[in-house]
Amino acid sequence: MNREHYLTLSRLFDYPDESYGLLVQNMIDELAAKHPDASKELEAFAKLLPTSTYQLQELYTKSFEVQAVTSLEVGYLLYGDDYTRGEVMVHLNKEHREVGNELGTELSDHIANVLRLLPKMKDESVINDLVTMMIAPAVEVMMREYSPKNMEAKDKLYKKQYKTLIIPSVPVGMFLHLIKALYIVLDNDFVLIKENKPFGDASFLGFLTSELEVEEGKKSSNSCKPAFDASGVMSSSSNSSSCNGCV
């Protein structure tokens, strides 16, 4: 199966630059024949794109980085900062190295980096497992985070924590069209196991609430929660010596 379209799709999840609008239009044209429903989602997305690159970058940052609606790191969406995520990142980093996939400044489980893997990998069974057990379930989590209820809850949480909102969630809802388009393409290309959710009832909002409670001192910040670098290796600040007293 030709999976080159995932290379173009991956670039739509990177930090946008002046070429972003053209990339979206190219993807609309590329998907029109084989993935018409995904192409229509991207058409809706294109209509909402601001003409200013600076404003688009602001919306991207608000959506995925600062006071985010959702994360773009599939391991985090599935497992939070649990040890399992570290194991996943180690395996992903191995796959990236084997095919020469450059990670740039993002982590190995960032959706753009993972999508760039798909056209380069050769083992069909591994590709299918990566999509059905990780990428697609993570994208489902992303879509759920854009529900009005979850977006409103995150706005309230951020306002409580930071006293102000950079941008209310409503304008950034446009990225749901992009995420839906990706899910449609995955669903067309692979037999998705939609009932198989190895991450249980994962929620970015739930992980976020827990992290902000730690910051507020409602939970111990010395809870031995591991941190991982881009290669999936536990950082020195998370080694056993820093967990003395943890049960």
Q: Above 60 in pLDDT, residue 3?
A: yes
Q: Above 70 in pLDDT, residue 132?
A: yes
Q: Above 90 in pLDDT, residue 2?
A: no
pLDDT of residue 165: 54
Domain ranges of the chain: 5-219
Q: Above 60 in pLDDT, residue 195?
A: no
The whole-number average pLDDT for the span 190-202 is 59
Tell me how far apart the alpha carbons of residues 45 and 24 are, in angstroms, rounded to a whole number.
8
Q: Which residue has the higher pLDDT, 150 or 145?
A: 145
Q: Above 60 in pLDDT, residue 204?
A: no
Q: Above 50 in pLDDT, residue 101?
A: yes
Q: Which residues contact 59 (CB under 8 A, 6 or more apart)?
A: 50, 167, 171, 172, 174, 175
Q: Which residue has the higher pLDDT, 191 or 206?
A: 191
DSSP letter, residue 234: B
Mean pLDDT score of the chain, rounded to an integer?
80
The whole-number average pLDDT for the span 112-122 is 95
The CA distances from residue 83 to 191, 218, 224, 225, 241, in Å, are 28, 22, 10, 8, 17
pLDDT of residue 173: 84
For the purposes of burial, counting CB atoms within 10 Å of the CB of 137, is it exposed (0-12), middle (13-18) or buried (19 or more)?
A: buried
Tell me how far apart the alpha carbons of residues 154 and 64 are, in angstroms, rounded to a whole number.
13
In this structure, of 4-18, 51-65, 171-185, 206-220, the range with the lowest mean pLDDT score is: 206-220
Q: Which residue has the higher pLDDT, 221 or 235?
A: 235
Q: Which residue has the higher pLDDT, 216 or 161?
A: 161
Please name every residue paired with 130 in a beta bridge, in sequence order, or none if there are none: none
pLDDT of residue 221: 38
Q: Which residue has the higher pLDDT, 63 or 36?
A: 36
Tell me how far apart the alpha carbons of residues 127 and 192 are, in angstroms, rounded to a whole number.
12
Q: Above 50 in pLDDT, residue 185?
A: yes
Percent with pLDDT over 70 in the chain: 71
